[in-house]
Amino acid sequence: DDDVELLQGHETDADGTYLMPALPVLAIVGRPNVGKSALVNRIIGRREAVVEDTPGVTRDRVSYKAEWGGRWFTLVDTGGWEPDAKGIDRSVAQQAEVAIELADAVLFVVDANVGATATDERVVPMLRQSDKPVILAANKVDDAVQEPNAAVLWSLGLGEPRPVSAVHGRGVADLLDHIMTQLPDVSKVAKEEYGGPRRVAILGRPNVGKSSLLNKAAGEERVVVNPLAGTTRDPIDEQVELGGHIWRFVDTAGIRRKVHLQQGADFYASLRTTAALEKAEVAVVVIDVIEPIGVQDVRIVDLVLESGRALVLAFNKWDELGDERRWQLEREIEQDLAHVAWAPRVNISAKTGRHLEKLVPALLTSLESWDTRIPTGKFNAFLAELTQEFPHPLRGGKQPRILFGTQAQSRPPTFVLFTTGFLDPGYRRFIQRRLREMYGFVGSPIVVNMRVRE
Ligand code: GDP
């Protein structure tokens, strides 16, 4: 399987955890019939045709793993949009915009025998203005006689046209050599991925019950799973089996070792929180139900939001919760944690072990949301319906419009809207709310970004 191949040469811990660096991403753009698919197949070394061929805006971009000269990269074919009523121009422009958004470099394919068409000309300024390297492939140059056709494409202002024949393979090696000089070693846009057990950070202010929770979850006999790491390095991770899954609790030394810092305790606590979040995929923020929810709790929750990690809220010491305090608590949650109302809540007692088992479904749900990918077609259907029903309010006689959108990333789901003019922050929040109503995203932050077309 592809992933196994990719892992060769990457470090794997004894316990099977590994970090998969994000491969650099090359996106391929071009109008229909220029030979993109042939070139894709040539690059990935396969002869099979396009993966799927459904008419309409249904086929999403397709990613392939490719290798050249011992270096791996991700090749993304953004050509999934069939031209709609508004035509080829628009679908190629959309490809280009998405490619610029999610790639480290863009491969723009032109049919050298036809020359640059109006459609090609239309995307050229977008490519030229992008801050990504653009490689211009002049395809269908099957022999030396046709080379002058490629040279004409210098006029596009995208640098040297590189003559290739996707069908015959001519020039493809040189093209790939050049592409490799344009791609970074590690992607600047894609994210690295952890393999192995999912990584959980237990966070919360002092004395909320973090170490009690960890001990209860881990079982007393597993207090220090890896003594070696504990003595040599500060942060230790512990592997714990819970609910039939292995979890990796990250950076647990900071929980186990009680540091009683007088001055700057907040500062160090937030440093630790940030460091743990860096390594984690999901955070359990432990809140002490006996104490009023305070700025410190909210600050930790906000650090999770900033980090873009999935979130579970664990309300601890439930065994000590009286009726009166319970009402107060509900009000505090409504007031101070309204902005994370989408996070799953578990009411637990680390001391008695009450409902600790509920932590697992909550973690799984949050991670599933965090991993979610909405296909471009579905997302645009959602946007079309939303903007039809609730158009952006007029502003100074003008109306900013959403041209289309795509989910550029998962972990957390990150959407990009291509618009004419800036959307009001209120309208963006409205879109976020609607997205949650539609797809849930329980336990995961979601991000909606805008790219305003000049
Ligand atoms: P940490 O600083 O967040 O790691 O908190 P600790 O786990 O050290 O807990 C702080 C105090 O709260 C200790 O005295 C614990 O015994 C107590 N504690 C932790 N969890 C619970 C719980 O669920 N119920 C009750 N009643 N006490 C708890």
Cα separation, 161 vs 428, in Å, equals: 40
Average pLDDT of span 15-20: 59
Cα separation, 84 vs 384, in Å, equals: 14
Cα separation, 63 vs 75, in Å, equals: 6
pLDDT value at 367 more than 90: yes
pLDDT value at 256 more than 80: no
DSSP 34-88: SSHHHHHHHHHT-----S---SSTT---EEEEEEETTEEEEEEE-TTPPPBTTBH
Q: How confident is the model at residue 111 (pLDDT cuts 50, 70, 90)?
A: very high
pLDDT value at 268 more than 60: yes
237 is in an annotated binding site: no
Cα separation, 349 vs 321, in Å, equals: 10
Which pair of tokens denotes residue 6? Answer: 């990719």
Helix (H) or strand (E) holding 336: helix 323-336
Question: Do the bridges between strand 414-420 and strand 401-409 make them parallel or antiparallel, or are there none, so unpaired?
Answer: antiparallel
Does residue 453 or residue 418 have the better pLDDT? 418
CA–centroid distance, residue 342 to ligand 1 (Å): 26
In contact, 371 and 410? CB cutoff 8 Å: yes
| Region of poorest pLDDT, from 13-27, 29-43, 357-371, 387-401 | 13-27
Q: What is the pLDDT of residue 54?
A: 36
Does residue 441 or residue 207 have the better pLDDT? 441
Q: Which residues pair with 201 in a beta bridge?
A: 283
Q: What is the pLDDT of residue 334?
A: 97
Hunting for tokens 């698919």 — which residue is that? Answer: 37
CA–centroid distance, residue 205 to ligand 1 (Å): 11
- Which residue from 173, 166, 176, 164 is spatially nearest to 42, judged by alpha carbons? 166
Closest ligand 1 atom to residue 320 Cα is 26
DSSP 5-22: HHHTTS-B-TTS-EEEPP
Name the residue with the closest Cα to ligand 1, atom 27.
317
CA 103-310-264 angle, to 5 degrees, is: 105
CA–centroid distance, residue 218 to ligand 1 (Å): 15
Name the residue with the closest Cα to ligand 1, atom 11.
207
318 is in an annotated binding site: yes
327 is in an annotated binding site: no
Does residue 7 or residue 94 have the better pLDDT? 94
Average pLDDT of span 269-298: 92
Hunting for tokens 């070139």 — which residue is that? Answer: 39
Average pLDDT of span 42-53: 60
Best residue among 207, 214, 261, 268 to mutate for probing ligand 1's pocket (most ligand atoms within 8 Å of CB) is 207
Does residue 262 or residue 426 have the better pLDDT? 426
CA–centroid distance, residue 255 to ligand 1 (Å): 12
Cα separation, 247 vs 241, in Å, equals: 6
pTM: 0.80
Spatial CB neighbours of 113, under 8 Å, sequence gap ≥ 6: 140, 146, 149
Cα separation, 98 vs 417, in Å, equals: 10
Name the residue with the closest Cα to ligand 1, atom 19.
209
CA–centroid distance, residue 216 to ligand 1 (Å): 11
Most confidently modeled range among 27-31, 49-53, 434-438: 434-438
Closest ligand 1 atom to residue 350 Cα is 23
37 is in an annotated binding site: yes
177 is in an annotated binding site: no
CA–centroid distance, residue 269 to ligand 1 (Å): 17
Sheet holding 414-420, edge to edge: 401-409, 414-420, 447-452
Query: What is the residue-averaged pLDDT of the chain?
Result: 85
Does residue 68 or residue 237 have the better pLDDT? 68
Q: What is the pLDDT of residue 55?
A: 36
Does residue 67 or residue 261 have the better pLDDT? 67
Q: What is the pLDDT of residue 96?
A: 86
List, for residues 150-187, the tens digit of each pLDDT value. 999 999 999 999 999 999 999 999 999 999 999 999 99
Q: Using CA atoms in the order 137, 143, 146, 152, what is the torsion angle rounded to 10 degrees?
A: 30
Spatial CB neighbours of 348, under 8 Å, sequence gap ≥ 6: 213, 314, 315, 316, 318, 354, 355, 356, 358, 359
Pocket of ligand 1 (CB under 6 A): 204, 206-212, 255, 316-317, 319-320, 349-351
312 is in an annotated binding site: no
List, for residues 314-327, the tens digit of each pLDDT value. 999 999 999 999 99
pLDDT value at 9 more than 50: no
In contact, 208 and 294? CB cutoff 8 Å: no
CA–centroid distance, residue 91 to ligand 1 (Å): 57
191 is in an annotated binding site: no
Average pLDDT of span 61-76: 89
Name the residue with the closest Cα to ligand 1, atom 17.
209
| Region of poorest pLDDT, from 158-167, 185-194, 231-240 | 231-240
pLDDT value at 232 more than 90: no
Which pair of tokens denotes residue 17? Answer: 């955890």
Q: How confident is the model at residue 261 (pLDDT cuts 50, 70, 90)?
A: low
Average pLDDT of span 72-83: 76
Q: What is the pLDDT of residue 257?
A: 64
CA 256-341-348 angle, to 5 degrees, is: 40
